[in-house]
Amino acid sequence: MEYFNAFLCGGILCAIGQILIDKTQLTPARILTGYVVAGVLLSAVGLYEPLASWGGAGATVPLTGFGHALAKGVRKAVDTDSWLGVFTGGLTAAAGGITAAVVFAAVMAAVFKPSSKR
């Protein structure tokens, strides 16, 4: 059932993004940024944690999950480091994902040669 919930949750998030692309003038970059902000806001009001518990990877892997991780990190850092945690908490919480993205991008750039499409 976990796989089904993850598939359903991730599929709904992707379908919402596709509808936004098809029916609005929003650019994909703005939609992706909106997903991160939505994850932060849903986490702030306490709605994202139950969604992440139910949807598993379908909720934590998309960009809304990144926003949730940032918000959780800031909340934890503020509890321990006071107001300075506002600046450090998000980066600390997301450091693993950011590092993985940079490393994988560097590996792909080294393995594959870019070429222009004609």
Give me the phi and psi of 86, to 5 degrees please.
-60, -35
CB atoms under 10 Å from CB of 117, counted, come to 3
Express each pLDDT in 17-37 by its tens digit. Answer: 999 999 999 999 999 999 999
**Cα–Cα distance for residue pair 65/74, rounded to 1 Å:** 14
pLDDT higher than 80, residue 117: no
Question: Please, which pLDDT band fits residue 5 given cuts at 50, 70 and 90?
Answer: very high
